[in-house]
Every structure is written in C-alpha cells, then in structure tokens.
Amino acid sequence: MSLIEINQGDITQLSVDAIVNAANSSLLGGGGVDGAIHRAAGPELLAECRELRGCATGEAKITKGYNLPAKWVIHTVGPVWEGGNYKEDELLASCYRHSLALAEQYQIKTIAFPAISTGVYNFPMERACKIAIAEVKKFLLQTSSLEQVIFICFGQTAFDLYSKTMQEVTET
C-alpha cells in the first residue's frame, strides 16, 4: 500500500479515519462536496459546526463524522481564486498543512482530501493539484503518524490530472 493514493469517487463513502471538507468560512454548509458531506453526516454535523463559530481561509477545524463512515471531518476553507495575486497559492497550501497537522494531533492514520477550491471557488485544477501533492509530500517527510493520504478525485479528468502530476513529482 502506497502512502499517497489517488482514487476516484465520492468522498462521503470512504471508510477512512478522516475526510477533509472544502467548506466556507461560516462552516454552516453549502453546495459541492460540503453539501454532500453534510447530507451524508446528518444534522448533528451542522449542530457541531455551529459551535465552532467559523473558520478563517487557510485554516482548519475538526468535528466528528456522525453518520459518515469516516470518524472525523476536518473542515478547511480554501481560497476563492481571484487570478493568482491574492495569496491563493499560499492559502491553499496552508489548508493542506493545517488539515494534516490536525490529523496528526488526533492520531488519525488515514485521511482523504477532495480537490479543495477547485469547484465553486474556481482555483485552476492543475495548479491546485501540484500544490496539494507538494504539501502532502512535504508533510510526510517529517515524522508523521499518518499511514495513508488519499486524494479523492470527483471524475475522470481530475483523476487523470492527479495521476499525471503524481507521476511527474515522483520522477523528478
């Protein structure tokens, strides 16, 4: 089993310790992957999210997973793409770093990430994918209790891109 895996599918179906949610700063739900996670987890998730009182862009907060197969949900808020000159790259990298740090803190062994910011927030997929893979690789080079990090791609295009980028990173 490889430490980093690229899979295609629906993140809400995964039996991992934690799934990451691409949330907004209210943490009160929305569309896309956020909506799917809240639907699958049930109303208790929203109740716990209310108590968190929001989350800044680039940061992350954790809740239980309720009706999801995953035990935990790590909610992170990606940047809205505004052309690239508004610290979008740094903020996206920060989402991955903060999510992984929280995972470590909760002794999470297996975690799955969606392609944060690449939907409604419009971050270019290829650029986001490079950042995601680079940050996870960097994190795993430190002492880490994580045993598996899954990038879950929603659709063939994302899957092909992640696979290609992963291969490029491994070869260089």
| Positive or negative torsion for Cα 3, 157, 93, 169 | positive
- Sequence-distant (6+) residues with CB within 8 A of 54 are 25, 26, 27
Q: 19, 9 in Cβ contact below 8 A?
A: no
CB of 57 to ligand AR6, least distance (A): 10
CB of 9 to ligand AR6, least distance (A): 7
Query: Is the CB of 29 or the CB of 144 nearer to ligand AR6?
Result: 29
Query: Is the CB of 139 or the CB of 162 nearer to ligand AR6?
Result: 162
* CA dihedral of residues 139, 140, 142, 147 (deg, nearest 10): 130
Residue 65: both structure tokens together: 């997973």
Sites of contact with ligand AR6 (CB under 6 A) = 10-12, 22-24, 30-34, 36, 78, 114-121, 152, 154, 158
Query: Is the CB of 82 or the CB of 145 nearer to ligand AR6?
Result: 82
CB of 140 to ligand AR6, least distance (A): 21
